[in-house]
């Protein structure tokens, strides 16, 4: 998830906002429809199904906790990202998206302290995205083999600290280095031709519809999890099948139904046009 927060921040350009005479509050307003509308609508629609299927859950759902949706606890737990990204955007907007090295250091301190998990764990990566776009927009293009090897080493060290030593601070190492490696790998794939061109195009298409997949996938997986995991105890098959179908069916539903209806497109995806 740190990668997605980094990319969300990277898409924010304070200079473009100034050129278009936009204010930070304008971006916050856009994020209300793009993030909060699907967060609330899908969460409320998900709640009744979660109650009906409570017998298959480790912890039955209590409808009296529905109010917690306003503090980031959604009936569809997978939607926490939408809430977190909105809150983080508001925090950055309070500073007019002016991100300095001191601000990044403060965000790192919050990550290590981690008083509010879903926010302070990822605030740094959003701010880092804004900073890198302004100061080092093309940094991925300049990565060398030495940089990649060093990044892999940092990732492995962080992984040992996170899993072996149980040090939460090492999450900063794994998440930052992992983000760089994924961006670099994406660049490598985009430059490939022939055999890998199809894979590159497919991943690009899924990337465009990543929001759709993210929102719909958990709902799509429910019947398959109940049958394969809870009833038949086919754990490996359940994992593989749910992963594949969650992507394929989400893309199909979005392209053939949701994105063709203005109301569904707005309520489920937060897209007005």
In this structure, the dihedral spanned by the alpha carbons of residues 169, 179, 239 and 199, taken in order and rounded to 10 degrees, is -170
Contact by Cβ (8 Å): 81, 214: yes
Q: Are residues 53 and 159 in the same domain?
A: no
Question: What is the domain count for the chain?
Answer: 3
Per-residue H/E/C for 185-221: HHHHHHCCCHHHHHHHHHHHHHHHCHHHHHHHHHHHH
5: in domain: yes
Q: Are residues 158 and 209 in the same domain?
A: no
Q: Are residues 156 and 245 in the same domain?
A: no
200: in domain: no
196: in domain: no
Q: Are residues 15 and 76 in the same domain?
A: yes
178: in domain: yes
Q: Are residues 142 and 125 in the same domain?
A: no
Q: Are residues 214 and 93 in the same domain?
A: no
Q: Are residues 181 and 50 in the same domain?
A: no
Q: Are residues 45 and 163 in the same domain?
A: no
Domain that holds residue 70: 1-136
Q: Are residues 166 and 55 in the same domain?
A: no
Q: Are residues 216 and 148 in the same domain?
A: no
CA atoms within 13 A on the CB side of 15: 6
Contact by Cβ (8 Å): 117, 171: no
Contact by Cβ (8 Å): 174, 2: no
- Model pLDDT, residue 174: 95
- Model pLDDT, residue 240: 92
Between 80-94 and 37-52, two packed helices, what is the crossing angle to 10 degrees?
150
Q: List the pLDDT tens digit at each of the 273 positions of the chain.
A: 899 999 999 988 877 776 677 788 888 888 999 999 999 999 999 988 888 877 776 677 888 889 999 999 999 988 999 999 999 999 999 888 888 899 999 999 999 888 878 899 999 999 999 999 988 888 999 999 999 999 999 999 999 999 989 888 899 999 999 999 999 988 887 777 666 677 777 878 888 899 999 999 988 988 888 888 888 888 898 889 999 999 999 999 999 999 999 999 999 999 987
Contact by Cβ (8 Å): 12, 27: yes
197: in domain: no
Is 0.85 surpassed by the pTM of this model? yes
Q: Are residues 173 and 265 in the same domain?
A: no
Q: Are residues 111 and 165 in the same domain?
A: no
Q: Please, what sign has the CA dihedral across residues 268, 269, 270, 273?
A: negative
């Amino acid at each position: 998830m740190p990668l997605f927060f980094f990319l969300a921040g990277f898409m924010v350009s304070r200079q473009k906002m100034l050129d278009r005479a936009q204010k930070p509050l304008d971006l916050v307003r856009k994020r209300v429809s793009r993030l909060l509308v699907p967060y609330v609508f899908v969460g409320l629609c998900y709640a009744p199904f979660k109650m009906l299927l409570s017998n298959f859950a480790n912890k039955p759902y209590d409808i009296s906790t529905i109010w917690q949706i306003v503090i980031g606890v959604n009936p569809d737990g997978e939607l926490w990202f939408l809430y977190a990204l909105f809150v983080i955007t508001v925090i950055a907007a309070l500073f007019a998206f002016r991100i300095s090295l001191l601000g990044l250091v403060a965000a790192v301190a919050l990550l290590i302290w981690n008083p509010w998990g879903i926010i302070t764990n990822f605030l740094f990566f959003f701010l880092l995205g804004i900073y890198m776009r302004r100061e080092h927009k093309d940094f991925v293009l300049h990565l060398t083999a030495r940089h990649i090897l060093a990044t892999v080493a940092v990732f492995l060290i962080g992984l040992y600290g996170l899993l072996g030593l149980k040090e939460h601070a090492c999450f900063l190492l794994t998440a930052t280095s992992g983000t760089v490696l994924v961006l670099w790998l994406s660049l490598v794939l985009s430059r490939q031709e022939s055999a890998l061109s199809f894979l590159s195009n497919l991943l690009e298409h899924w990337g465009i519809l990543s929001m759709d997949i993210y929102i719909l996938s958990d709902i799509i997986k429910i019947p398959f999890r109940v049958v394969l995991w809870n009833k038949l105890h086919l754990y490996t098959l359940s994992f593989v099948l749910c992963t594949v179908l969650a992507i394929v069916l989400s893309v199909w539903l979005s392209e053939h139904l949701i994105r063709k209806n203005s109301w569904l497109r707005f309520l489920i995806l937060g897209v007005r046009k």
